[in-house]
């Protein structure tokens, strides 16, 4: 399948060349806008605190805003729904924001739209060209796969800016994108494929290597189930592993806080939990020890031995409630997202994931549908545009192994050179962060102000302050340091106060 690039460049060029509007178009009249391949289906002002998101009962706490709904059809089989929310008059901060989606969901991100407009942004969200959370939308619809992979976000971005320009009478001064998980994938895709779309991008827990990630899910499922398909682990047993690993490795960073700072330094061996008598949730059988080690090790090509995808971090097994491997690797009846092979690659709903060949089929996916991933390490065009990129990921992420994101960051630095990369790119590891949220670490933080300072004032962020919040109370604060630097307690003052930490390199690592 060939990569398709569809854009509104000619339309944007035409509008850029035209004189600025003396005044913007009233919100209700935006429905009459004529944009190639785009139909505005609804436009109107929404009074403050009156908007109820689909599927919800109570109205959201929102200021008055202009709500525009539209459908884009850049191909004969495309139907990309998107919304643009615009604060009125002086309430608009003059900036545009695109927001990412999650998983393979085909839905508008109303909570992200709300956050954006509350901050004064004109903000756009898309359903990525389909409805629902499963992958059956792709069966027999290769154009919809392209829409989901990258085209829908780009078309939404360009049309969204145009709608904002028509309503406000001027182009946004700056454009930002924020996304985590699939949204992080979309963030890196935008930086790689459409480097002029955004001035600043935040890519959290980016699932950029989508095809190899899908393969490791199959591997991890097989490692955590017996041959009959019965799970080897209970949630209680996974929590036992995390507790033991935390006891073994928590103090390596000099602070005992229930968080493993850098699991790569942790030498925890699950065999230390081997049962010596009857099996209980407090011990592991030989099959369970082997399964944990396989998940830690990740996926390698069985023929060449080459690493296809890194393993999951020590400490990600079962850190709280139903978080961890149980929700994403153990409890699912079949490997998570294995339908990528059914509907994206083979176009066969009856294909059996048990037949997946980790050598032949992984290579075939890379050759046939490479555009599903966003793995290009050459971000020179984005750098040349003046773009700034902030990345982050959690050490305790049970969905996307942290070391995969590290590999991408280091790959960019190797490809374009460390000095060039440091001029527009920062990466923050978050100890104890699960998948975009949750976990025992400092998981509450906001990187947008730091990105704005960098884009608009040239001040690069070297740290971001994060908090651990429980029952709506801040328990501790901690700096997140620009990788490979890490937060180190000075030994003076409370270790729950970020002011008592400095960012410095771990031994043997240099920036």
Report the percent of the chain where pLDDT is more than 70: 94
The β-bridge partners of 502 are: 488
C-beta separation of 167 from 89 below 8 A: no
Task: State the Cα–Cα distance between residues 285 and 243, nearest whole angstrom.
Answer: 17
Q: What is the DSSP string of 177-242?
A: EEEETHHHHHHHHHHHH-TTS-SEEEEES----HHHHHHHHHHHHHHTB-TTS-BS--HHHHHHHH
> Where does the pLDDT of residue 334 fall: very low under 50, low under 70, confident under 90, or very high at 90 and above?
very high
| pLDDT tens per residue, range 98-110 | 999 999 999 999 9
C-alpha of 408 from chain center: 13
**Domains in the chain: boundaries:** 1-171, 173-208+377-511, 212-370
Segment 426-452 shows an average pLDDT of 96
| pLDDT tens per residue, range 139-176 | 999 999 999 999 999 999 999 999 999 999 999 999 99
* pTM recorded for the entire structure: 0.94
| pLDDT tens per residue, range 40-92 | 999 999 999 999 999 999 999 999 999 999 999 999 999 999 999 999 999 99
> Where does the pLDDT of residue 23 fall: very low under 50, low under 70, confident under 90, or very high at 90 and above?
confident
311 CB-near residues (< 8 Å, 6+ apart): 216, 294, 295, 296, 297, 298, 299, 401, 403
449 CB-near residues (< 8 Å, 6+ apart): none
């Amino acid at each position: 399948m060939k990569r398709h690039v569809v854009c509104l460049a000619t339309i944007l060029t035409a509008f850029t060349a035209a004189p600025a509007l003396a005044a913007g178009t009233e919100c209700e009249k935006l429905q009459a806008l004529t944009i190639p391949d785009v139909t505005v289906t609804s436009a109107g002002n929404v009074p403050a605190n009156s908007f109820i998101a689909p599927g919800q009962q109570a109205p959201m706490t929102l200021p008055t805003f202009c709500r525009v709904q539209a459908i884009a059809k850049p191909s004969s089989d495309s139907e990309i729904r998107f919304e643009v929310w615009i604060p009125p008059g002086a309430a608009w901060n003059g900036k545009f924001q695109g927001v990412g989606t999650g998983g393979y969901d085909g839905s508008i991100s109303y909570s992200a739209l709300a956050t954006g407009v509350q901050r004064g942004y004109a903000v756009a969200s898309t359903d990525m060209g389909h409805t629902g959370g499963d992958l059956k939308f792709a069966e027999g619809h290769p154009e919809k796969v392209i829409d989901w992979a990258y085209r829908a976000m780009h078309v939404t971005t360009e049309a969204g800016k145009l709608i904002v320009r028509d309503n406000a009478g001027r182009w946004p001064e700056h454009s930002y994108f924020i996304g985590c998980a699939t949204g992080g994938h979309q963030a890196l895709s935008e930086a790689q494929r459409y480097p002029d779309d955004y001035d600043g991008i935040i890519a959290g827990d980016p699932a950029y290597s989508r095809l190899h990630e899908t393969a490791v899910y199959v591997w991890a499922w097989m490692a955590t189930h017996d041959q009959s398909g019965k799970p080897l682990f209970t949630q209680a047993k996974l929590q036992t592993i995390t507790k033991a690993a935390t006891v073994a490795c928590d103090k390596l960073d000099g602070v005992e806080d229930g968080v493993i700072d850098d699991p790569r330094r942790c030498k925890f061996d699950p065999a230390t939990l081997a049962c010596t008598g009857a099996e209980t949730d407090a011990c592991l059988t030989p099959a369970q020890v082997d399964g944990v080690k396989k998940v830690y090790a990740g996926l390698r090509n069985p023929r060449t031995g080459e690493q296809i995808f890194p393993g999951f971090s020590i400490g990600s097994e079962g850190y709280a409630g139903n978080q961890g491997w149980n929700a994403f690797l153990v409890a699912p009846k079949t490997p998570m997202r294995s339908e990528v092979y059914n509907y994206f690659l083979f176009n066969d709903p009856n294909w059996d994931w048990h037949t997946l060949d980790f050598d032949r089929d992984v290579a075939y996916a890379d050759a046939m549908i490479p555009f599903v991933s966003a793995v290009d390490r050459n971000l020179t065009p984005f750098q040349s545009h003046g773009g700034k990129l902030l990345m982050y990921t959690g050490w305790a992420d049970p969905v996307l192994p942290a070391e995969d994101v590290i590999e991408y960051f280091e790959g960019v630095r190797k490809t374009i050179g460390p000095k060039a990369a440091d001029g527009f790119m920062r990466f923050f590891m978050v100890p104890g962060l699960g998948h975009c949220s949750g976990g025992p670490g400092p998981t509450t933080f906001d990187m947008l102000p730091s990105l704005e300072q960098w884009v608009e004032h040239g001040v690069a962020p070297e740290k971001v302050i994060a908090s651990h919040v429980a029952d709506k109370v801040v328990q501790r604060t901690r700096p997140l340091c620009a990788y490979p630097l890490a937060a180190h307690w000075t030994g003076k003052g409370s270790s729950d106060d970020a002011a008592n930490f400095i960012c410095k390199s771990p031994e043997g690592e240099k920036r």
